[in-house]
Amino acid sequence: MDILVDGLALGKNHNRTIHRTAGRIFTSNRVSIGTLTFDAGTINVNNLTNGWQVANSGTNSTDTGIGTINVNGTGTLAVNQSLILALGSAGFTVLGTNDAQTPPISSYAQGTLNINGGTVRANSILNGGGIAAITVNNGTLTITNSAGTPAKPLSAISLTNTMLGLRVNGNSVLTNIAVTNPPGQRCEHDPN
């Protein structure tokens, strides 16, 4: 399988009208889930949004958008411009109906990238404001420009037996890389 696409969105909810009474929001929390899993071939995409919580009116949404990408085996995901994980908020309280029996719940955006033996090459990976996580097991992750920002860092990155490729900017004095290893494990640097 080989796919060439301009834009792709997974786990995107839809905008809707909500009911407000005395400053309280009353609605249900609709959940949109999108999953992309492949283990061979190449998906080449310009812009990819994984987990998109579309705002209602204003900046918050009462719905949840969850996206999961699984790049397994010999599969390759190439993102030429932006890979946005979790476009939306990390948590917004949605009150129940006027019925006192319905408790408040949280709506959120969540984007997860799992690489299990596969390869991901991304120009940049951004946290769109929600819960953005990357897990790599026996795979390759290459990031040409940036992954997260100081204002919106990635929520979690887990690497196990991974080839990680980063472009280091010698003109920048700001570098934030933290590595933790379990006891008995070591982190190696390949200068090539």
Please check whether residue 62 lies inside any domain of the structure.
yes
Domain count of the chain?
1
* Residue 96 covered by a domain: yes
- Kindly state whether residue 143 falls inside one of the protein's structural domains: yes
18 close to 79: Cβ distance less than 8 angstroms: no
The answer to whether position 97 is within a domain reads yes
Is residue 175 situated within a structural domain? no
pLDDT for the residue numbered 30: 73
User: Which amino acid, 63?
Assistant: D
pLDDT of residue 16: 56
Contacts of 125 (CB under 8 A, 6+ apart): 79, 83, 84, 85, 113, 134, 143, 146, 147, 148, 154
What is residue 96's predicted lDDT score, i.e. its pLDDT? 54
Contact 116, 74 (CB under 8 A): no
Taking the C-alpha atoms of residue 53 and residue 135, their distance in angstroms, rounded to an integer, is 22
Domain membership of residue 75 (yes or no) is yes
Q: How far apart are CA 134 and CA 150, in angstroms?
A: 17
Judge whether 177 lies within some domain: no
* Residue 146: per-residue pLDDT: 85
Measure the CA–CA gap between 51 and 46, rounded to whole angstroms.
Answer: 17
Domain that holds residue 72: 2-158
Write out residues in the chain with pLDDT < 70, as ranges. Answer: 14-29, 55-62, 90-107, 169-192
Does 185 reside within a domain? no
